[in-house]
Amino acid sequence: MHAEILVLPGDGIGPEVTAAAVQVLRAVAQRYGHTFAFTQGLIGGAAIDATGDALPAQTLAAARGADAVLLGAVGGPKWSDPGARVRPEQGLLAIRKALGLYANLRPVRPHAAALGASPIKPHLLQGVDLMVVRELTGGIYFGEKRREADLARDVCTYSVAEVERVVRRAGALARARSGRLTSVDKANVLETSRLWREVATRVVRDEFPDVRLEHQLVDSMAMHLIARPREYDVIVTENMFGDILTDEASMLAGSLGLLPSASLGEGTVGLYEPIHGSAPDIAGRGIANPYATILSAALLLRHSLRLEDEARCVETAVSQALDAGALTADLAHDRPPLGTTAAAHAVLEQLQ
C-alpha cells in the first residue's frame, strides 16, 4: 500500500526518537512491499522559533492531508518562561483538538528485560497487560483559564457526548480483550466525575452488556495500579487523570521511554507519539530510549494503516531487541548502555 506519513519531530529528544522510528517504518515498508512517503513539519518550540506559532497552519493542513502523524515531543526550558506569549504545549493540545483525537490509547505491557528497571517488585508485574484509554480533548486542560494577581482558575467541563464517545472506544477495546473495563473518576467530589460515571454506566449497560464495568476513584486507582496491576485490563478515564495515571503506569514497564500512544478520533488520521515528553535533560546527547516512539510507529501501522502483521512484526522486533540486551541508559543499570541509534539498529536487525 501507499501511505503518506507526516513526521513532527518537535523539541528536545523528539528529533532523535522520531528519526529512529522513521528508520523502522522504512524497513517495514521495504520488507512488506509498501511505499511510505514521509514529510516533516513543525510543531512546538521549533515551530515557535521558526514561525511564532506553536502549530503553524501549514502543519495542520499537512496533518489533515496525511494518513497518519508521527510525533516526537514538544517543550523545553527555552520556551517555558512564565510570561511567554505562546507555549509549545499549546501546539500539541491544538493539533489533538483540531483533528478531533479524543481517545488516547496507552498500552502498558512490562517486558521481562525491563523489569529490573522498574521500582516495583517483579512478581507483581508478571502478566500485567493494561490498555489505558485517556480522554484527550476535554476536561480541565481545555477549560477556561484565568489568572488574577492573587487567584487562578482552571475550569473542568465534560459533556455527555464527550464521555459517551470515549467510553464507547474503551468498551470496544474491552470487548476485544478480556471483557473487563475499569472507569476511573472522582465521583465523590467532582460534578464532572458524577456525569462521567453516570454516562459510562449507561453506555456499557446499553451497548456492551458483555463487558464487566467497574468504577474506581482516581486516588485508590493510583494505589491499585502499583499494588495489584495484574487485576486490570482496559482502564478509561478523563484527560488529567489519564495523564497522571499513565506516567505512573510507565513505572510498571520500567521506563517512560517504553510507552507508546495512539490518539484517535472519528476520522482515519491518527496521531502517534511516545507518552514521554521532550526530556530536555538528555536532549541532543544521543542517549534517549527510542522504543516508545518505535512502538508508537507500530500503533500507527495497526490503527491508521490497518497493517496488523506489520505492527506485530515491529512489536516483536522491539521485544527481541530487549531480550537480546539492547538496553538504553534508562534501562541498563549495571551494563554499558546503547545509544538511541544503536538501539534502533538492534530493532532493525531483528526486522531483517
Q: Is 247 a catalytic residue?
A: yes
Distance CA 294, CA 25 (A): 8
Alpha-carbon dihedral 206, 217, 145, 97, rounded to 10 degrees: -40
Q: Least CB distance from residue 302 to ligand ATP, whole Å?
A: 21
| Residue 324, annotated as binding a ligand | no
Cβ-contact 292, 324 below 8 angstroms: no
- Ranked by CB distance to ligand ATP, the top (closest) residue is 277
Q: What residues are paired with 237 via a beta bridge? A: 134, 184
| Number of chain residues interacting with ligand ATP (CB under 6 A) | 16
Report the distance separating Cα 69 and Cα 258, nearest Å.
Answer: 19
Q: Which residues in the 322-341 window bind ligand ATP by CB under 6 A?
A: 330
Q: Which is nearer to ligand ATP, 184 or 282 (CB)?
A: 282
CA gap 77, 81 in Å, rounded: 7
312 annotated as ligand-binding: no
Q: Is 293 helix (H, G, I), strand (E, B) or coil?
A: helix
Instruction: Give min distance, CB of 257 to ligand ATP, in A.
Output: 3
89 known member of a binding site: yes
Name which of 141 and 196 has its Cβ closer to ligand ATP: 141
**Catalytic-labelled residue, pool 11, 67, 102, 141:** 141
- For ligand ATP, which residue of 71, 166, 256, 294 counts as binding (CB under 6 A)? 256
Q: Is 219 annotated as a binding residue?
A: yes
Cα gap 141→46, rounded to integer Å: 22
β pairing state of 212-217 and 180-185 = parallel
Query: Is 102 among the catalytic positions?
Result: no
Q: Give the whole-angstrom CA distance, residue 153 versus residue 44.
A: 24
Please indicate if the annotation marks 49 as binding a ligand: no
Q: Which cell is 339 given? A: 545509544
The site string for ligand ATP over 178-217 (x = CB under 6 A, - otherwise) reads ----------------------------------------
CA distance 317 to 350: 5
Closest CA to 314 of 14, 29, 95, 16: 29
Which residues, listed in sequence order, are joined to residue 221 by a DSSP beta bridge? none
Is the Cβ of residue 27 or residue 251 nearer to ligand ATP in the bound state?
A: 251
Our measurement of the distance from residue 83's CA atom to the centroid of its chain's CA atoms, rounded to an integer in Å, reads: 29
C-beta of 4: minimal distance to ligand ATP in Å? 26
Q: Between residue 268 and residue 287, which ones bind ligand ATP under the rule CB under 6 A?
A: 276-279, 281-282
Indicate if 243 belongs to the active site.
yes
Q: Which residues are catalytic?
A: 141, 186, 219, 243, 247
- Which residues make up each annotated binding site for substrate? 96, 106, 134, 219
Per CB under 6 A, residues contacting ligand ATP are 13, 17, 73, 75, 256-257, 276-279, 281-282, 288-289, 292, 330
- Which residues make up each annotated binding site for Mg(2+)? 219, 243, 247
